[in-house]
Amino acid sequence: MKTTFDKATRDELVKRINSIQESTPAQWGKMNAYQMVKHCRQWEELITGDLPSKRAFLGRIFGKMVLKSFLKDDSPMGRNSPTVPEVKARESTGDFAAEKVKWVALIEQNANTITQNFVHPFFGKMTNEQIGLLAYKHIDHHLRQFGV
């Protein structure tokens, strides 16, 4: 399975990220390209601990089971998957280019850092291996959302 801890996989993701333009339309969902890029940057900040979060009640009950289901194979995440409130980009415009640069830098930083005690707001405590696999699936999901 693909993981963001693999350099070739990260390079492929960065190439896809760089191909997105602010005017690129979504194939599904409610986000525009700016909101998607900001959302993905914020998701990476969850991993670094720079974006505080709290555990969702339903996540405490179902989180581990859903995570196991997500990571069991190479299948992509489904369309219109729910997201945690901490990473919802509410503004529809902003500095698109700067958000992309921050996002790519965080992908590289997270891939080269051993994360200790990361607790996802829904999935709960995750290992580094799980983080890399889920990070890939999450990024791929949103890049496919925008046709790249």
The sign of the torsion formed by the CA atoms of 111, 116, 121, 123 equals positive
Q: Tell me, what's the pLDDT at 114? A: 81
Q: Are 85 and 39 in contact (CB under 8 A)?
A: no
> If we measure between CA atoms, which residue out of 33, 50, 60, 111 comes closest to residue 86?
50
Q: What confidence category does residue 117 fall into, taking pLDDT thresholds of 50, 70 and 90?
A: confident
Please write the tens of the pLDDT for every residue from 72-116.
Answer: 999 999 898 888 878 888 899 999 999 999 999 999 999 988 877
Stronger pLDDT, 113 or 128, i.e. the higher one? 128
pLDDT score recorded for residue 61: 93
Alpha carbon distances (Å) from 29 to 33, 78, 94, 133 = 11, 11, 19, 23
- pLDDT at position 130 is 95
What phi, psi does 147 have (nearest 5°)?
75, 20
For 132-142, write each residue's pLDDT tens digit: 999 999 999 99
User: What SS3 state is found at 14?
Assistant: helix
pLDDT tier at 51, thresholds 50, 70, 90: confident
> Which pLDDT score, from 0 to 100, does residue 137 have?
96
